[in-house]
Structure 1
Amino acid sequence: MFNIQVLLLSLLLLKLFRRYHSTTMYFECTAGSCISDDTWSEQEMIRAEAEEEVSVRGDCSQFSSACSVMSLAARQINCVNSLEGTWLFLSCIITAAMGSWFLILLQSFLLFLLSVLLHSNPSLAYALKNCTISYSHNRTEVWVECIHRFLTAIPDDIPHNAISLDLKSNQILRINRRELSGLSELRYLNLNENKISRIEDGAFADLVQLRNLDVDLNNLTSVTDNMFQGLSKLVHLSLYLNQITSISPLAFQPLISLQRLILRFNNLYQISHIAPVFRLPKLYELDLAQNNFTSFQSDDLPVNASNLRTLNLNTNQLRKFSLTRDVFPHLESFHLPECSGDFEWGISNKTFLRSVKHLYLSETTVSFEIYSMMLQSVDSVEYLSLAFMKTLLNEGLVNIACQRPALTTLSLSYNFVGSINETLLQRCSGVTDLDLAANVLTELPEVSFRSMKQLRRLALNQNRLTRVPLAIRGLSTLEILKLSDNFIPELGCSDFQALTGLRELYLNHNRIGILRGCVFQDLNDLKILHIGHNAINIFDDTFKVSLQNLQVLNLHSNDFNKLSKGDFGNLSSLRYLDVESDTFYVASDGVFEGLDNLQTLSVSPSSYREGLFTGLCHLENLMVHQRSDQSSIVSEQNDEPPFSSLPFLKRLMIKNYNKYLCEISKSLLRGLHSLELFSAQQLFIEAPHPDTFTNTPHLKNLQIIQSNLEGLKPELFRPIPNLQGLDLSRNQLRCLDFLTQANLSAVRWMTLSHNELTVINETVFQFLPALTYLDLSGNPFTCDCSNTGFIQWVKNNKQTQVVNAYQYVCSFPLSKQGTKLLDFDIQSCWMDVGFLCFISSSCLVVLTLLSSFIYHFLRWQLVYAFHLFLAFLYDSRRRRKGVPHHYDAFISYNVHDEAWVFSQMLPVLEGEQGWRLCLHHRDFQPGKPIIENITDAIYGSRKTICVISRRYLQSEWCSREIQMASFRLFDEQKDVLILLFLEEIPTRQLSPYYRMRKLVKRRTYLSWPQAGRHTGVFWQNVQRALETGDTPTETSDLLTGPAGH
């Protein structure tokens, strides 16, 4: 009821305001101070320009200060929505209409009503209590993340437009229907790793757009008929690692779009229980691994054929597998289970598995004969995996497998194979891909792969090889060779002999110490070489004489201590180079010359200077890892731009790993005109110089982490107006005032975590109009009234998400230490006894002053009518006398624009076009009152030309001149006023006089800036305006001039 009364009162005040809008006081005062909520963020700037205009009258000056008080109060209660803006506007209007003598009382009363109204109608906050909205470049996609929050139920503040909800790793026990209601846009739902034992029927009914549902690692024991009701668009469903023992016959019936179903690691034991699954029209993949099935027979399945492409029965102790009908005509990938010793395999027609291309067999006690039957039932198999089957391999199972006519890929991983003799792969001449990873191979005789003339990919990683196997020599068809994760200490000149077709070579994680120049001499087509995580300390001529077609070279984490010029001289095709090391090394100037196509480089030099990166004209990504101590950093680093030779660099990351910091020169980024991302970790010993980013105008992401940025100046950010992301974590920041003048209008995400911020002035965020993601975690907040405005802003703003705001902990005062920041009672800061007494007395005073309010309201109307009458008498006398017009036009301008008037306007209008103009310094009569001179000039001229600029709008006398001209316009209803805009002025900065003019008559509005080089056309338009008659017309826009001009 109280809210209705407040709204009725506001409507009454609004009605009074509308009746009063024609008074001069309203126009002058609103021009000076009151600014709508739409331009609230620009209020301080506009007030500075408008207060001079307001000071023309004492009442307006008081009114301006009144609105300033209102502005300050609004910031304290975070007036950002339209309702609050309306209240502030009404307050300003009422204050203008009344005298200053009860100004403060009325404002306080309105603020009280406003605060009560706001508290009685709380709005949905953007800061979530237990979740985070992940930052996304696409603002329409809301991804909510609630991982590891110890939740026992789904939060009730999930945005209804969320498309993804991740509730992984919590303590949720059950899913109720109401908890997910309203999330009609949700597409991805992750409920993994909870303790869910029950999902109510229809709990997902509102999720009509859901595509992916994961309920892994929970405690479900059954799937009911209506559990998945409404999920007609679900494509992926995973129920992995539950305790499901039963599935209702109609449970999956609503899932008409389901393509992938994972039921592995449950307690299902009868195929007939899941038989309805095979009826799903679009189901392509079914994972039933690690259950308790003992039999899989086609007689237990629906009569109609299934559309399954992938079936996984791995780790089920099957005793029987039987197909008597063609139920899987499209099956392509088949994982056979672990089988018991008395396993029965029955395929009445081998064509039943005619489409199988991928077959996976693993550890079993089945006899050799049964496996032979299995393999003979899948003639179309192209990929075969045999794991944990060492005994059967030795009995010749591989040769039987290789007799499959379509077989091209053979995986023998995890079989504990120690060596390969000549007969093991004798029949595998058609195999092109061979995987022997994760075995215990120590050597491979030269004859191991003799029969494999078409081998293109060979994986020997994760074994115990101590040298490059002799068996690979002569494999001219080999394209990919993996020897990583072995114990190879050195490479010989003949190790890769005749591997002329090799394109990828992986030697990482070995014990190689020296690279000889002859090692890769035959690998002319090699494109990718990974040799990181070794002990290489000598390159020799390895990269000087060979590998001219190499595109990727990974030398990460080796032991070289120097890189010399020419070490990479032959790698002209290289695009990616990683020479990062766990220690630093000396790099000579020009060491990377010749790498004309290099795009990505990661280095760990002892110092970085200009000469180091010469020759890298196409480099786009550079990672510099600074591991040397302070004494190793050369002085040139501070005197010359180290990256000036990288004009196309887009991403630069510099990370310092030691505790010593050095002073960084302001020329650090000179020459990087294309830079879009700059990341510096533990680099700056003090705030960067304000000119640091002068040469990076296209920078979009800036990260300065773990440095000392006390005293950060706003000038640092002004050269980078396109910045979208800013990370200033761990920089000992104590204040955010620099943001108010930093020109960061495009910043969308900002991280200020783990600084020393205790009190935050929420008004700084008004200068970040695009900000949507803000992380302030890890700061020692003060929980007292100094943070009231910030707390209310966090709760009420609709644009910026303050990440994990409800988890922020108080550090001060000691009595509040450990409590939550947003739990602080902000009402205790203003709802005290004295304030209540003040409000009570104010209400009594307001009632007493209602009569005075009416008097003040009517008084201004009477004053306005009196002046209107005097002006009417003055004009009537002039008409009776028949006073002719002495001038064609009176020129109203500011003294600061006098040069333009004399140099541009007079020569054309008086000299060329012959008009007779009236200028105040030339034609006003000395000794005569200024107001009378202005009046005679306006009424003695056919037209009045107002030369409008910002200075003009701030001038008292110019304001009076345009007021008089506007009155003549109203009184005579003739086109006597020409507005000539000398500058481009935003509409919000125009006085209501000009807005009134725009509403009454849209004609002869001219813009000098838009004339450009066509000044002749501009002056023709002025002449046409002077020649027009007095009949008013409705034509043009305010700034662009008449239509067609």
Structure 2
Amino acid sequence: MGPLSNIQVFACVCTFLLWNNIQTSVENEFIANYSSRSLTNVPKTIPVHTQVLDLSHNRISGLSTLEFISLSDLQVLNLSHNLITELDFGVFFFNQDLEHLDFSHNNILKVYCQTLAYLRHLDLSFNKFTALPVCQEFRNMFRLEFLGLSATTLRRSDFRYIRGLQLRTVLLTLEGFSLYEPQSLTALDTRSLRLVFAANQNFSFSLLYDGMSASENLRIDNLRYTLSYEYFPSPPVTLLKKIKATALMLDTVDLQWPIILQLFLLIWYSPVERLTVRNLTFRGPLAVPGYEFLTLLSSLEQRISLGGSMKVLTLEHVRNKVYYFNQELLYRQFSEMTLASLTIYDASMPHMLCPNRTSSFQYLNFSHNALTDELFQNCGTLTDLKLLILQRNKFESLPKVSFMTSRMKSLKFLDVSSNLLSHDGADVQCRWAESLSELDLSSNQLTDAVFECLPVNVQKLDLQNNQITSVPKGMAELKSLRELNLASNRLADLPGCGGFTSLEFLNVEMNLILTPSADFFQSCPRVRELQGGRNPFKCSCELQDFVQLERRSGGKLFGWPGAYVCEYPEELRGRRLEDFHLAELACNTTLLLVTALLLTLVLVAVVAFLCIYLDVPWYVRMTWQWTQTKRRAWHNQPEEPEGVLQFHAFISYSERDALWVKNELMPNLEKGEGCVQLCQHERNFIPGKSIVENIINCIEKSYKSIFVLSPNFVQSEWCHYELYFAHHKLFSETSNSLILILLEPIPPYVIPARYHKLKALMAKRTYLEWPKERSKRALFWANLRAAINIKLPKSFEPNEELNDVTSTSGISEYVNN
């Protein structure tokens, strides 16, 4: 756009950027936004310190001094798009700081003037004025830079009061225009001039000619002429000497071909360096009285070949209403122009010819057309071309595009995005211009094979929005590549930098990367920025390394942390990667195995220690022997039915305590009144059976088991067996079958560790102590007999019937406890 955009900058910068900021900001003491509230009057609640006030798009029809007298700090006032019919500048007498005043798009018919010395921007455009509302007070507005006016008639005298002002921009809206006095616009002294006509009225070409003579930058909106070509006023011969315009923009142009050619001839020889035509519609007829279309073209071609001042030509949104003419002639005119920059955008152009001689084109933009792979094939005259933009066309073959550039010796930038390009990786070699350093291949149909057809000296490469799944290894090296864009493809992982030794910027956003490689920066040491966000990250152990990579990279991940979010698993969707953490043990397989192995070894060691300390193998062996004994007893079916009691008690004692048992215990229990039938191993063990079997059988056939405890007892292995099996019976039958007799005190440290059952029994059960005093022994025997009290079956009773031993309640309670 260049200088042409300055017209819009000065005319709209405040009303576009400033007001846009106003609308998006909250009301405070400096900015008050009351736009689009259907107001009919200026609010009385405006803060007194307001500097910027927006009252646009309301229904306000009148203003008064009282509404603004308290706003002494007011600098910017926007009253556009209201229903104001009369404007009195005296309303702002007390607003001495007012610089920006916008009354555009109202119904103002009359203005009452007063000097506003500090005003810089005044917009009265798009109103109902017949003549320009310029009064003599305007000559004192020396600081005025932008002036917007509207009228239906223009006379030279209308500008007399602003002739001495150094205006940057003047906007004239001439809707319903009816009269123009020639040379009126030349009275203006402005850098930029914009003329806006109604879309349904014929344009006055005198305004165009005078406008080109009045301003350096000229813009005209709605250039339309429906009359016959013969009524078209040819430009005066002396006009070329008066033209000051160097930049010309024509927006919304609807003209016949002969008129367009005539205007173009005029502009070509004028000082205009930059011509922009937007929304151009050209119509027939091709032939007019006194002229032939081919004659006009031939004349144009001859004059163009001589050169002119124009350097930049831009045609945008071109619509052709002329059919059945030789378009090649038109393309030839464009190709032979001595321009530095040519843009033909959105013109449905199917082709462009290669210049016949060395061209001066440095910039070509043919975007949004219908160009094909046949463009500029074998064209060697575009040697000065540096930038070529071919977006949104119909190119299909990437090798043909490369051949197109091969003879463009100065080409640095090529944009063929949004086409139909593909490359199947065939043996066809690609030949690019060696000078090409920037290449845009985005939004095409390229696959992994594209890396076999790239310019070797490219520094910036855009391949986003294609169908690339990976960067193949062993491809041609791109040693100069600094920026690579692979966003919106199908990559499953970060590419390596094996062939990109100079890569500094990489974009892989919006691919299919679940778990990026954590060694990326190791393989790509020169990368300064990685854009890897907006991928469907799978938050697992593999991703932990990538999260750690961000912390070590020193801020090289662009968009961190907002663009890096978990997608899988479902329960973590939406969580930022920076908030995702897993224990190191859960992700380090080696550490997990070593830990598990150590724990297993510790567990085995503890179990082994406990087994040894608690004599677990011995108990296992005893349990096994008990089980085997029971199994054999069940298979052999013994004569005496199991579970039938034959003895009152089984005696377990150490052989070292045998004298006490034979001399004291047995005589006192088996003789006398209420004799007891005892089972003693020397007389009741059955020959032929193992000792263990005999012990088990005797215990099971005895009502009670009497254990004579002493230091000798705990040293006896067989006593331990007998205690174990008796204890087993205690738990299996839930009966109170154990009787402990403490013959001698047993210090706790004397009892081996494996005798934990004995320790438990002595701690929880009451035992009978053998008294040393003879006077206490009668009570001892009475308690013992009471504990063994039971009626044996008659088949096993001795010849003399055993009498029940009746004990006192106190003895029974003592024993049972």
TM band (smaller chain): 0.5 to 0.7
Q: 1:379 aligns with which of 270, 288, 306?
A: 270
- On the 8 A contact 2:212/2:244 being kept in 1, the answer is no
- Does 1:388 pair with 2:281? yes
Q: Match for residue 881 of structure 1?
A: none
Q: Match for residue 399 of structure 1?
A: 301
- On the 8 A contact 1:219/1:242 being kept in 2, the answer is yes
Residues 752-780 of structure 1: CA deviation (Å, up to 9, x unaligned): xxxxxxxxxxxxxxxxxxxxxxxxxxxxx
Count of matched residue positions in the alignment of Structure 1 and Structure 2: 529
AA aligned to 1:610 is: A
Separation of aligned partners in 2, 1:571 and 1:163: 57
Separation of aligned partners in 2, 1:181 and 1:436: 54
Separation of aligned partners in 2, 1:543 and 1:646: 32
- On the 8 A contact 1:238/1:261 being kept in 2, the answer is yes
CA drift of 1:442 comes to: 1.7
Residues 158-187 of structure 1: CA deviation (Å, up to 9, x unaligned): 666666555565565555545555656665
AA aligned to 2:170 is: L
- On the 8 A contact 1:596/1:615 being kept in 2, the answer is no
- Does 1:410 pair with 2:313? yes
Q: Match for residue 225 of structure 1?
A: 112
Residues 338-368 of structure 1: CA deviation (Å, up to 9, x unaligned): 3444243554733553422234564325855
AA aligned to 1:431 is: L
Percentage of matched positions with identical amino acids: 17
Q: Which has the larger radius of gyration?
A: 2
CA drift of 1:456 comes to: 1.1
Q: Match for residue 505 of structure 1?
A: 414
- On the 8 A contact 1:354/1:378 being kept in 2, the answer is no
CA drift of 1:134 comes to: 3.9
AA aligned to 1:382 is: E
* SS of 2:107 mapped into structure 1: coil
- CA change 1:324–1:587 in 2 (3 A) is closer
CA drift of 1:288 comes to: 3.0
CA drift of 1:537 comes to: 2.7
- Does 1:450 pair with 2:356? yes
* SS of 1:559 mapped into structure 2: coil
* SS of 1:510 mapped into structure 2: coil
- Does 1:439 pair with 2:342? no
Residues 802-852 of structure 1: CA deviation (Å, up to 9, x unaligned): xxxxxxxxxxxxxxxxxxxxxxxxxxxxxxxxxxxxxxxxxxxxxxxxxxx
- Does 1:570 pair with 2:454? no
AA aligned to 1:409 is: V
Q: Match for residue 189 of structure 2?
A: 306
- On the 8 A contact 2:213/2:245 being kept in 1, the answer is no
- CA change 1:547–1:377 in 2 (3 A) is closer
Separation of aligned partners in 2, 1:147 and 1:243: 22
CA drift of 1:483 comes to: 0.9
AA aligned to 2:469 is: N
Q: Match for residue 434 of structure 2?
A: 524
Separation of aligned partners in 1, 2:407 and 2:119: 55
* SS of 2:364 mapped into structure 1: strand
CA drift of 1:460 comes to: 0.9
Q: Match for residue 321 of structure 1?
A: 206
Q: Match for residue 242 of structure 2?
A: 353
Q: Match for residue 828 of structure 1?
A: none
Alignment of 1:328-727 (within 5 A): 328=213, 331-333=216-218, 335=220, 337-339=223-225, 340-341=227-228, 342-345=231-234, 347=236, 349-350=238-239, 352-360=241-249, 362-365=253-256, 367-368=258-259, 371=262, 375=266, 378-385=269-276, 387-389=280-282, 391=284, 395-396=296-297, 398-399=300-301, 402=304, 403=306, 405-416=308-319, 419-421=327-329, 424-425=332-333, 428-444=336-352, 447-451=353-357, 453-467=359-373, 469-470=375-376, 473-474=379-380, 475-491=382-398, 492=400, 493-514=402-423, 521-542=431-452, 546-548=456-458, 550-551=459-460, 553-563=461-471, 570=478, 572-575=480-483, 577-581=484-488, 585-588=491-494, 590-591=496-497, 594=500, 596=502, 598-599=504-505, 601=507, 603-605=509-511, 606-607=513-514, 608-614=516-522, 622-628=530-536, 635-639=541-545, 640-644=547-551, 646-647=553-554, 649=556, 651-653=558-560, 654-655=562-563, 682-684=574-576
- On the 8 A contact 2:532/2:558 being kept in 1, the answer is no
Higher relative contact order (CA 8 A, sep 6+): 1
Residues 574-594 of structure 1: CA deviation (Å, up to 9, x unaligned): 24x43321x653124535984
- CA change 1:291–1:329 in 2 (3 A) is closer
Q: Which runs of 5+ in 2 are unaligned?
A: 1-20, 287-292, 321-325, 584-817
Q: Match for residue 256 of structure 1?
A: 142
Q: Considering only aligned residues, what root-mean-square deviation do their CA atoms show, in Å?
A: 4.9
Farther-moved stretch of structure 1 (468-477 vs 271-280): 271-280
- CA change 1:589–1:245 in 2 (3 A) is same
Separation of aligned partners in 2, 1:519 and 1:239: 64
Residues 206-264 of structure 1: CA deviation (Å, up to 9, x unaligned): 66555555555x333335133x85263414x445555554543317555433333445x
CA drift of 1:371 comes to: 2.2
Separation of aligned partners in 1, 2:97 and 2:495: 58
Separation of aligned partners in 2, 1:289 and 1:255: 21
CA drift of 1:272 comes to: 5.5
Alignment of 1:143-182 (within 5 A): 164-165=52-53, 177-179=65-67
- On the 8 A contact 2:185/2:214 being kept in 1, the answer is no
Alignment of 1:10-49 (within 5 A): none
CA drift of 1:524 comes to: 3.2
Separation of aligned partners in 2, 1:313 and 1:562: 54
CA drift of 1:375 comes to: 0.5
Separation of aligned partners in 2, 1:656 and 1:648: 14
* SS of 1:603 mapped into structure 2: coil
CA drift of 1:520 comes to: 6.9
Farther-moved stretch of structure 1 (454-463 vs 518-527): 518-527
- Does 1:288 pair with 2:172? yes
* SS of 1:224 mapped into structure 2: strand
CA drift of 1:555 comes to: 2.9
Separation of aligned partners in 2, 1:157 and 1:618: 60
* SS of 2:548 mapped into structure 1: coil
Separation of aligned partners in 1, 2:51 and 2:481: 43
* SS of 1:399 mapped into structure 2: helix
Separation of aligned partners in 1, 2:75 and 2:529: 35
- On the 8 A contact 1:663/1:685 being kept in 2, the answer is no
Separation of aligned partners in 2, 1:212 and 1:332: 23
**Which portions of structure 1, spanning 4 or more consecutive aligned residues, are displaced by more than 6 angstroms?**
130-133, 322-327, 515-520, 565-568, 656-659, 661-664, 685-691
Q: Match for residue 897 of structure 1?
A: none
Separation of aligned partners in 2, 1:169 and 1:613: 56
AA aligned to 1:317 is: N
CA drift of 1:434 comes to: 1.6
Q: Which runs of 5+ in 1 are unaligned?
A: 1-129, 665-680, 692-1045
CA drift of 1:652 comes to: 2.2
- On the 8 A contact 2:447/2:468 being kept in 1, the answer is yes
CA drift of 1:268 comes to: 2.8
- Does 1:201 pair with 2:83? no
Q: What TM-score, normalized by structure 2, do the two folds share?
A: 0.53
AA aligned to 1:224 is: V
Alignment of 1:53-92 (within 5 A): none
Separation of aligned partners in 2, 1:441 and 1:557: 26
* SS of 1:541 mapped into structure 2: helix
